[in-house]
Chains A and B, each alone.
Chain A
């Protein structure tokens, strides 16, 4: 497979995600302070720092093993709802990638879809609830479409990242129906959702690391 994504590329994606979270943690926390409990940036940064530490010096035999480690680390270190949500995303993603040490673009898209399904199963979020789903779902759709129409991986990931960012921006006028923000009701309108923001970073990281 000439265009297969290697294990080290996948690792680079996760490292890039960690770096983006680190750069944006204040922004994420600020967004969360408007409509949540002001910890999304701190929580995600703590989680991703733990992930990066776990990746250092450890060799992973397969995609599944790598993402199991990532998922379980997030589950145990994030603390907030993003822990089980991102944790589930990566666990399902890894399981769908299988026991190989690389994955082709179609497989990658399928794994993204599996991860997204995991997030839905865990969070029971629907489109328009003002959650990470609103960024992740359009991204996965765009990725599927692009790959199905024969796009290069690089272009497909850019399309996905762009869709995630549009989805993220679309959360601003939404009324939160899940999570801590839902307690605010109408007052949640007018604020960008922090979860959708970090999900967009995940896709942006994929575009820059894998593209």
Chain B
């Protein structure tokens, strides 16, 4: 992979630029090093730092260096002199603008692009902004040299040898080549006698109708005219880098020659996998993400019903304003495609990913955008103009009389739909339909909107079992598998899909026997679930007579109702973020009190363990100024943020204390690593109690009027050091709640949500279990209780281990409560302890998981 170095006068600028770029990477790793500022606050650049930064990210893929101005350039050049020649030979100093270039380079590097490609992506990075600010001008999309009269022209001809002619992908390759050079290139199909088209315009190159054997003339002017012609002729000689398999396999669908689908293309009839059966296991997936059997017709969101209504045809504003919608939508579509391309490149390889280059080129296509603009200026609405112009290109391709080229029109239509859906505001919302939802990934908001009454299962091509979407699927009780691979996206709507969210087994279009197998298993589980539900309200007592509290994790009133209905003994984790996110100002004390009261009342007398606001730089709140952080998960979050902004914490505690007057409430502080933090938070709580003229129960009593005997105070344990220091915290809390998701992420240095690490970040890793054990041992014999509120608590393999280690309470998704209770009832704590002892000595999570199998 290509490493990236950012050279800037300002450390803060560089760090923030990297932060912006990382947002585009969605957790995928790219080595980016910073050489910026003489120190954190002094502006300046330092060639030695640049040298060290290059060495830090250097690898066989090479290093791209982006700079701001002046001395940054000189220092970078000097660094090349200082570097080992072997290293400096694979370093490129790139003239791209720092921020735009960095974002483009980071995305390209994450997609596994070569150094030259990363550089050309970076160099082209201004295109979007230029198109937005100066639409329609020549410099809008690329930096072509103006044609000076009498400028010498370089000409050559080549013969198309690609089996299917100069279709979209080779055309995209050609146009990409042209764009990197300072030359104006015109192409003409000599065989058909076509007129000349600009080589930088993908849509125009495709209209040359250049088939195998056709002769194409290249004419170039500009300072790099010679290079442009040479490069194009050389490209043509190597069939525009098309893999021969791709080039010879004929297909009449947007599925490319290798049989893999283009996920953003519109599926035609008969598209998709020809073979039914188990999905391949190449990437280790699919991973079980939410338990249960899912069987049903598949459906995929989006791309449906993109017909323009009468309203869509009316421009919302004067042409100049209406036009501005187009570049915005194009940019949004570009982001989506770049994202998908990077994933495809990583998981399936560069050749498969290159189909998206054609899509991206279309979005950059100056000719196409000019046509859209012309239509807008003539009074069309943005959606109508976009749709009309792009459909015209597709129709031109359709009319070329070649099956393969006609099929390429599907690429154009895919892009058409993608941009149009943004223009129509249908990009991320979709109507849930009956059956199994098949998608590339879901945003947490999308996952949260799904209901198990409608959606019987979720199959995601990407994602990890610990991603927020997976967690939401579990809390919704919808079976899910993730990381199923891109192939699932080719499954046509309506195909029967069956999967097991407990094991990750996934079968597309199962044969009757397999289907019966799944249905039998589903019925069996249904029966067991029914049985469990019957006795869910009774306590979970182990065979040797120990009662274990099985609690529910709750994030809304609906969850709280489900928790009560499924027999949870208490709500072991009430998340409060929902009240704080997606708004412009902090909720008032009264509003918070009302919301908490609604949740607590839905719990019907059960204790609510309410976690104070747990956000950080990854989910910045507009009303909480937070400096950008390179790694928000190791930044100011949870209690750290609350103590930095005590007024937020104070309001929240005040609202909770008011609810605690008439309901059993526990307050829990997240992301604690220091005893002082707990003490500081408790002082604020004491202040609030004093002001509210009530007295807290448990620890930390002070003088006051009314008593809150039921109020308890506890803390989350997500930080490994807190687990190891549990004995120091114990005097100041009533309980610990171990957040195994974050604890695992921090202990294994494996970011949650990074699908490449899905198999690494297993909470059953013996290292994590050691930490859980340390917490339990620290409070053994005291009255401080230990709960586990991470996802692992509902894992049937994990429950006996956790109880064996000394955990008193399991807090799980509300729908999992009955089954977890049933599982507890079958356990013997003595056996659990013995099992836990062996797990602590195991070498890996997989050997821990193997322990229970006889």
Contacts and interface: CB of A to CB of B under 8 A. Distances in A.
A78 B70 contact: no
A84 interface: yes
B353 to A, nearest CB: 38
Contacts of A179: 70
Name the residue among B42, B47, B69, B77 with the largest chain A CB count within 10 angstroms. B47
A79 B78 contact: no
A84 B47 contact: yes
A88 B47 CA distance: 10
B511 to A, nearest CB: 69
B430 interface: no
Interface string A67-93: 000001001111111111101100000
A83 B45 contact: yes
- Which of under 10, 10 to 19, 20 to 34, or 35 or more describes the interface residues of A? 20 to 34
A76 B75 CA distance: 9
Contacts of B46: 75-77, 79, 83
Contact of B44 (A79, A87, A88): A79
A122 interface: yes
A43 B38 CA distance: 11
B49 interface: yes
Interface in B38-66: 38, 42-49
Contact of A84 (B38, B42, B77): B77
B70 A79 contact: no
B251 interface: no
B48 A85 contact: no
B47 A78 contact: no
B288 to A, nearest CB: 53
A76 B35 CA distance: 11
A76 B49 contact: yes
A180 B70 CA distance: 7
Interface in A82-109: 82-85, 87-88
A123 B74 CA distance: 7
B71 A81 contact: yes
A78 to B, nearest CB: 7
A128 B44 CA distance: 26
A147 to B, nearest CB: 28
Contacts of A78: 44
A124 to B, nearest CB: 9
Contacts of A85: 74
Interface in A152-211: 179-180
- Which of under 10, 10 to 19, 20 to 34, or 35 or more describes the interface residues of B? 10 to 19
Given A77-B38, A122-B77, A83 B70 contact: no
Contacts of B42: 79
A143 B48 CA distance: 32
A83 B43 contact: no
B78 A76 contact: no
B78 A75 contact: yes
Contacts of A81: 70-71, 74
B70 A75 contact: no
Given A79-B38, A79-B42, A79-B71, A84 B48 contact: no
A25 to B, nearest CB: 16
Contacts of A180: 69-70
B49 A84 contact: no
A118 to B, nearest CB: 9
A39 interface: yes
A43 B74 contact: no
A26 to B, nearest CB: 19
B74 A79 contact: no
Contacts of A88: 78, 81
Nearest to A79: B44
Nearest to B71: A81
A80 B71 contact: yes
Interface string A110-147: 00000000000011000000000000000000000000
A82 to B, nearest CB: 8
Contacts of A77: 38, 46
Contacts of B78: 75, 84, 87-88, 122
10 closest A-B pairs by CB: A79-B44, A81-B71, A84-B74, A84-B78, A75-B47, A76-B48, A76-B46, A79-B38, A80-B71, A84-B75
16 contacts: A75-B75, A76-B47, A76-B49, A79-B9, A79-B42, A79-B45, A80-B44, A80-B70, A81-B71, A82-B71, A83-B44, A83-B47, A84-B47, A84-B71, A87-B78, A88-B81
Interface of B: 9, 38, 42-49, 69-71, 74-75, 77-78, 81
Given A84-B71, A84-B77, 9 more contacts: A76-B48, A77-B46, A79-B9, A80-B70, A80-B71, A81-B70, A83-B45, A87-B47, A180-B69
